[in-house]
Structure 1
Amino acid sequence: MSGKEPLLGTLKVCILNLQGCSSPYTDACPYIQPFCEVLEMILRKGIKQPVLGLNRKDYWHWLEQLPQQETPQSTTLLSMMIEKTNSSGKVLTAQGKGRYFLRLALNRKLLAAAFQQLVKTPRLLEWYEPLTSILGQEDLSEPFLSLMLVVTEMDFSLDLQNSSFLDESWQLPVCLTYETVPCRELGMVLRYLDGRIFITDVLPQSQAKVDEVVLVGDVIDEINGFSLRNASNGQAGTVLQKLKGKPLSFRLIRWKWHDGGMYKPLLPYLKILREKIPSFQLQHEHQCKEKSEARSLQGGRLLYNLRYLGQVNVGKYGGKEVLDRGIPMVLEKHLPPQVVLFDVKETEVLVLQKPTSKTFPVWEGVWTTVKSLLSAL
């Protein structure tokens, strides 16, 4: 039957290609995107549109009606997926929500259940032209459902956090996490553009510059789990103010894709940025940390020029668990920073005041906390 409809034959090939990859299937598999694109073509084929072409309909518009049509046995699972899709702050359009739902359904093995509910519900089938659609014709919908049952038996582990560009494209960006210690100024210059936050500069000698994670041109997607998709002007600063004194975790979207070239959905944004900021240039690489002047290797030890912000007794044990408690205690003292030499030897760590070489207390077991309270010059 699939020979009558080329899209069904293409979908079958995509599934076979997926099965040739190792399971579970992740976004790293090169056949995920082609499979999703063909599936979307099938779901869009033959959807009835308004006569004047206004408020065009997409497959998400009937998907979100599924909870009203479900049998009691399937109500909970599909309703939860619809609710999760609607509550995601990273997709704003019907296209983005439909794509998010499909990826979620793949992870939860419920893709076939959603389409089975459609073909059993005459009111939902009215969304499709009976002569031009695949889902509206029984001789085509049956082989399609058979393929979806095969997909349901496959294990998917797709990154649902990486959803901020589904409104524009099935191509997903490279994402990474940037974690840093509390500091007064991170040194990232931000520009808000159509609800996205671009890093347009990283200031010299700032914390972000020293950490060497952020690249100029990257997008801030989250801060400590708070989504900044569709952010209003100044929203990142508001979030950071609420997190003052706490360790920070940024989810960044790289402007570079896996092949080293530009992530294509960013092209329109970057073009506008160049027009608005003539000096704006994408940053391709970081300065090599080994060439940094902030530290040098002497006699088998590392020397850092740092600012000493103070010390506090956190008890006998000084693992990373004490950071959340110890850092605010030091910052609340508001002591003037002092230029020091951070001397990392093989068996001990010393903090020496310049130029007197006065030694500050760095107890064994808590030096990790003290180090986290120092910011590079």
Structure 2
Amino acid sequence: MSGKEPLLGTLKVCILNLQGCSSPYTDACPYIQPFCEVLEMILRKGIKQPVLGLNRKDYWHWLEQLPQQETPQSTTLLSMMIEKTNSSGKVLTAQGKGRYFLRLALNRKLLAAAFQQLVKTPRLLEWYEPLTSILGQEDLSEPFLSLMLVVTEMDFSLDLQNSSFLDESWQLPVCLTYETVPCRELGMVLRYLDGRIFITDVLPQSQAKVDEVVLVGDVIDEINGFSLRNASNGQAGTVLQKLKGKPLSFRLIRWKWHDGGMYKPLLPYLKILREKIPSFQLQHEHQCKEKSEARSLQGGRLLYNLRYLGQVNVGKYGGKEVLDRGIPMVLEKHLPPQVVLFDVKETEVLVLQKPTSKTFPVWEGVWTTVKSLLSALCKFEYTPVSAFFSGYVTGSLLFNEQGTDQFYRFCI
């Protein structure tokens, strides 16, 4: 087989390499990318191109015609995959859509079905040169389909969300999720470049700086599930405005790849950024607070170093709604901050004095059930402020220590 067509021999080797890995096969498998690259070369070999070379054709152009060729007996699954590919906002070109479709078909075990539909449809076979292609020659298409049937029996679990660079490359970037609380400013400076949103700076003492997730040079791919591929100027701000007051979840594309080096498809973008912003520098690591600040342990639990700013009584009725009113009331007292240790146990929250580690007076002798906990952010000398309120629970009612009137205590 490989003597007639080297690509088929290479494809067989790729499949054997995959079978040597543990199933299901994910993007972490090093043989996924070579397999997809060889498969794509086979699909492109012998595709007829316009005489003048304009509007070059790719395998996606015949793939998207598959629903038109379906017989009443054929499945609608191929139609659904074509629709899903076209509706994906992360791939814009024929190359990207073809690659997305192949990954989707691998996950759904329908790769062989698509190619079987091709060889059964004379109109689609006209896309290929009969003498130079693999799919256009019966003696080559049959062993190819046999290999695809083997692949159909294999289990793939590829990350279809990680598709924003399929237009440029089969090499996938490192992606991660950054979740943060509602705040007035995150502190990320953004730059729009060819439909992508780059983080060009992270402001000191900002929420993004404190969270230590974002690196300068990263790309914002999604906000709360909304794709920002091919984003227009200011689109991220528009999305954030609609999500005002809600928890935020960013899907980020790291500028660094798995080996610690630069993700190669980003090179042209980063070169332009350096030309436009002379001070732009990629951020390699975060400054680890744990290295500069000793942490205490209590019963194997990590204690958090905080500054206690004060407390205020907010009346009988408590809920997260009182936070907006309670935080300014505490801050207006201008009490000197006290360094404390914050101990989150399984059924209680304790605030301990430093360095004695005695229970802080406001919590003394109390087994506290947290009624509601909210990391509410406000700007207090650019320092994030966490606030919560609590009461004592008996059945479904809240009482103070003496079991009298219902109350809530507000602390930040």
Alignment TM-score, normalising by the size of structure 2:
0.77
Change (3 A) 1:233 1:345: same
Find the residue that maps to 1:115 and give its secondary structure. Answer: helix
Is this contact kept in 2: 1:129–1:136, CA < 8 A?
Answer: yes
Is this contact kept in 1: 2:349–2:370, CA < 8 A?
Answer: no
Is this contact kept in 1: 2:348–2:370, CA < 8 A?
Answer: no
1:70, CA displacement in angstroms? 1.2
Change (3 A) 1:13 1:305: closer
- Higher helix content, 1 or 2: 1
Find the residue that maps to 1:229 and give its secondary structure. Answer: coil
Q: Deviations over 1:14-51 (max 9, x none)?
A: 00000000000000000000000000000000000000
Find the residue that maps to 1:303 and give its secondary structure. Answer: strand
Q: In structure 1, what is the Cα distance between the partners aligned to 2:254 and 2:372?
A: 26
Is this contact kept in 1: 2:190–2:200, CA < 8 A?
Answer: yes
Find the residue that maps to 1:317 and give its secondary structure. Answer: coil
Give the structure with higher Rg (CA).
Answer: 2
How many residues get paired? Answer: 377
Find the residue that maps to 2:42 and give its secondary structure. Answer: helix
Q: In structure 2, what is the Cα distance between the partners aligned to 1:225 and 1:332?
A: 38
Q: Deviations over 1:312-364 (max 9, x none)?
A: 99999999999999999999999999999968799965679999999999999
1:72, CA displacement in angstroms? 2.4
Q: Deviations over 1:75-125 (max 9, x none)?
A: 410000000000000000000000000000000000000000000000000
Find the residue that maps to 1:362 and give its secondary structure. Answer: helix
Is this contact kept in 1: 2:307–2:338, CA < 8 A?
Answer: yes
1:62, CA displacement in angstroms? 0.1
Find the residue that maps to 2:274 and give its secondary structure. Answer: helix
Find the residue that maps to 1:179 and give its secondary structure. Answer: strand
How much identity, in percent, do the aligned residues show? 100
Find the residue that maps to 1:3 and give its secondary structure. Answer: coil
Change (3 A) 1:177 1:301: closer
Find the residue that maps to 1:287 and give its secondary structure. Answer: coil
Q: In structure 1, what is the Cα distance between the partners aligned to 2:365 and 2:237?
A: 34
Is this contact kept in 1: 2:304–2:342, CA < 8 A?
Answer: yes
Find the residue that maps to 2:190 and give its secondary structure. Answer: strand
Q: In structure 2, what is the Cα distance between the partners aligned to 1:321 and 1:205?
A: 26
Greater RCO (CA < 8 Å, at least 6 residues apart): 1
Q: In structure 2, what is the Cα distance between the partners aligned to 1:116 and 1:321?
A: 60
Equivalent residue runs for 1:30-41 within 5 Å: 30-41=30-41
Find the residue that maps to 1:170 and give its secondary structure. Answer: coil
1:71, CA displacement in angstroms? 2.1
Q: Deviations over 1:186-233 (max 9, x none)?
A: 000000000000000000000000000000000000001000000000
Find the residue that maps to 1:370 and give its secondary structure. Answer: strand
Change (3 A) 1:93 1:299: closer
Equivalent residue runs for 1:56-135 within 5 Å: 56-135=56-135
Is this contact kept in 1: 2:199–2:216, CA < 8 A?
Answer: yes
1:289, CA displacement in angstroms? 2.2
Is this contact kept in 2: 1:316–1:365, CA < 8 A?
Answer: no
Q: In structure 1, what is the Cα distance between the partners aligned to 2:18 and 2:317?
A: 49
Find the residue that maps to 1:306 and give its secondary structure. Answer: strand
Change (3 A) 1:116 1:202: same
Find the residue that maps to 1:40 and give its secondary structure. Answer: helix
The aligned counterpart of 1:282 is: 282
Alignment TM-score, normalising by the size of structure 1:
0.84
Q: In structure 2, what is the Cα distance between the partners aligned to 1:366 and 1:184?
A: 34
- Identify which range, 360-369 or 149-158, moves more after superposition: 360-369
- Identify which range, 28-37 or 349-358, moves more after superposition: 349-358
- Structure 1: state its 5+ residue gaps: none
Report the aligned-residue RMSD: 5.3
- Structure 2: state its 5+ residue gaps: 378-412
Is this contact kept in 2: 1:319–1:368, CA < 8 A?
Answer: no
Change (3 A) 1:153 1:20: same
